[in-house]
Structure 1
């Protein structure tokens, strides 16, 4: 929803300069939020759900794991042997 509202600005090059937007989903604000022009903080009420079927093709899994300061994300494998991650709910700051 956020990018839907901002998409026209990026397509039309109407912003005065390059803008870095970061989105974090926990209170640790990981994901480069500290060095962004616009930082958005979402708030979990439950631990995040992992979609393992698309994770390996859409994300660099070592970077996903490294981006979580309380180490709530750890490597795992799916039933068919693909790379995945699992969430340690006790460490997650939701």
Structure 2
């Protein structure tokens, strides 16, 4: 199995919301089918990077939520999480 290429720095710098909005825009453009083949391929590749970035952000958020703890006295706290 081939390793996935690194997420481009410009994509990695995006917030989850910005990456998702751009991904939605790319999907709409591809669905319309009006782009030239080379442009569609480039958009598809960027969309793949955006999807992977969004998935990473969601996993990070889930890991933080998973680390929220409830103590015996009912108080809520959080444990630091290591994301690798």
Q: Which has the higher helix share?
A: 2
Higher relative contact order (CA 8 A, sep 6+): 2
TM-score, structure 2 length as denominator? 0.25
Larger Rg: 2
